[in-house]
Amino acid sequence: MLSVRTAAAAPDFPRPACGLRRIRQIACGEEGSGLRVCETAGQTGAAWKIIQSMTTRTDVPAALDERTQLTTFLDYARATARAKCEGVSAENARRAPLPGSPLMTLAGLINHLRWVEHWWFEVMFLGEEDRGPWTDEDPDREMRIAVDRPLDELLAEYEAACARHRELVAAHPLDTVAKRTRGDRGQFDLRWILLHMTEETARHNGHLDILRELLDGTTGA
């Protein structure tokens, strides 16, 4: 259904209701390079800077060059995905309210977005090994297994992946051609990946928006 392998300023946000301590622990861990704002789990103020970095969003670029505009809009879409999950209960994060889409959960979509980032930036652009949880027999496995994990862990892993990819993008010209091709669809460059990831994330934000309203009536995130 969603398999990527078959497809080629709000500084005073309310603190999330779920998983502050766990997000803090993950974001300050090995996978959270670039997010190491705190040194110990007890530094609540510093930890809150991490959460704010996850939820603060703007679609107004700081400059008008192409790179800044592309990365600003991708980060805005990423932050919107996280905002759609703020305050949701653990039970609702796992529920699939659409009868025709049993894998469509908040947890599943966040995990999907985390691994889509891996696919395009690490596998396709850098040419690295595919470490995604999907298999040939279960191409949407990242959606299926997400419901067995706390949403705050999934959100923290998503943010850690986004942080790595911000650094990757900053280190390469937009014209850099990806290591892998899309078969008969030919080559693509980093610019195309940024545009595609903005489209992909924004599309799933629509799914997250509908799910959240159906689950608990929350709108407007």
More confident residue, 173 or 18: 173
Strand, coil or helix: what is 177? Answer: strand
What is the percentage of the chain residues whose pLDDT exceeds 90?
A: 71
pLDDT at 66 over 80: yes
Where do the structural domains in the chain lie, given as residue ranges? 12-216
Give the residue-averaged pLDDT of 52-78. 87
At which residue do the structure tokens 């107004």 appear? 60
pLDDT band of residue 104 (cuts 50, 70, 90) is very high
Cα–Cα dist 55/40, whole Å: 22
More confident residue, 155 or 24: 155
Amino acid type, 81: A
Q: What is the domain class of 12-216 according to CATH?
A: mainly alpha
pLDDT at 179 over 50: yes
pLDDT band of residue 162 (cuts 50, 70, 90) is very high
Give the residue-averaged pLDDT of 184-201. 96
More confident residue, 88 or 6: 88
| Both tokens assigned to 59 | 């679609």
Contact, 77 vs 122, CB < 8 A? no
What pTM value is reported for the model? 0.78
pLDDT at 110 over 90: yes
Q: How far is CA 127 from CA 55, 118, 181, in A?
A: 30, 11, 10
Q: Give, rounded to a whole angstrom, the gap between the first and last alpha carbons of the chain.
A: 26
Cα–Cα dist 148/203, whole Å: 24
At which residue do the structure tokens 């496995």 appear? 141
